[in-house]
Structure 1
């Protein structure tokens, strides 16, 4: 049996989580792994473990534990729902999954900034998961600046990174791309 990893790539409020949850409902034997859920869990139940400054290493460690369990203790497909905007970070993820026998699918959400700004302005999403900024507007501004300065090798995904690459530019394309992924995974 072929196992798949679907990795989302995109800025805040681009639709990664909504897409991942919808795909999980339609794709047999799959699980969404989302670091935002881990951040919320830690904030709600273990606030004393959260670092005061620097990277949230406990969130990363929790995610790694969940990923390891999903890879080694299940036979399911994984939908990894994070921003995954740096090429080096994506390549490390993709290498890990390849070594473990997964076929990889990248879904890049290339949504125009004005749509992201509109979504953020209407969002009811909790800001408790944020550590280095206090609003999602600030997250988007930081991401826009990273794009301009190529900080941390923030790059648009390329076809050679994964076995399959899909680009979502608007909401109309979401169902079609989801259908294509379902077809690939059911072969």
Structure 2
């Protein structure tokens, strides 16, 4: 059986990280690849090396190193917990990193209402140490993501983009999606 590459798609506070951690508990032989963890590490220990603007090349290089290591030296399933809202980013992951010859690729789209997301960011206790640039709160990040939604590359995933597309439209959908993924491994 091929390894799974489960790639989350969604705005801040849509539940991607919580989902990834819950899935990791249910899906044996898996690990979570979370760039927020890498950002926090770099901001804590290597802040001076972080680029002031533009792509976070250092964070992406660290992520690639960990992914390459896990691909070569483990048999783990990958749970990729990032926003991945840009189609070009998803295509890079699907075509260059998680090849269809080696992975069954699953996109999990978190499409919760803006009301839920604004309530979550207003009540958030998450550490903002992952931020780089002008952002002070997760509300700032959500506002930026809403504005980015108008960009041509920021599009929702569609059927056929990966091997599977699973949707989370309500928080209650998470358990169903986790069970579907676990069932794929057991089949």
TM range (shorter): over 0.9
- Residues 116-168 of structure 1, C-alpha deviation per residue, up to 9 Å, x if partnerless? 00000111111121113222111111111121x2x151001001111011010
Alpha-carbon distance between aligned partners in 1 of 2:165 and 2:171, rounded to the nearest angstrom? 17
- Counterpart of 1:4 in 2: which secondary structure? strand
Pair 1:101-2:102 in alignment: yes
Query: In proportion to residue count, which structure has more helix?
Result: 1
Q: 1:21 — aligned with what? A: 21
Q: Is the 8 A contact 1:71 1:100 kept in 2?
A: no
Q: Is the 8 A contact 1:40 1:128 kept in 2?
A: yes
Alpha-carbon distance between aligned partners in 2 of 1:48 and 1:146, rounded to the nearest angstrom? 28
Q: 1:144 — aligned with what? A: 146
- Counterpart of 2:136 in 1: which secondary structure? coil
Question: What are the within-5 Å matches in structure 2 for residues 7-156 of structure 1?
Answer: 7-96=7-96, 97-98=98-99, 101-132=102-133, 133-147=135-149, 149=150, 151=151, 153-156=153-156
CA shift, 1:99, in A, is: 5.2
CA shift, 1:100, in A, is: 5.6
Structure 1 regions of 5+ residues with no counterpart?
Answer: none
- Counterpart of 1:161 in 2: which secondary structure? coil
**TM-score normalised according to structure 2 size:** 0.95
- Residues 73-97 of structure 1, C-alpha deviation per residue, up to 9 Å, x if partnerless? 1111000000000111101101121
Q: How many residues align?
A: 185
Moved more, 126-135 or 60-69: 126-135
- Residues 7-41 of structure 1, C-alpha deviation per residue, up to 9 Å, x if partnerless? 00000000000000000010010010000000001
Structure 2 regions of 5+ residues with no counterpart?
Answer: none
**TM-score normalised according to structure 1 size:** 0.95
Q: 1:2 — aligned with what? A: 2
- Counterpart of 1:93 in 2: which secondary structure? helix
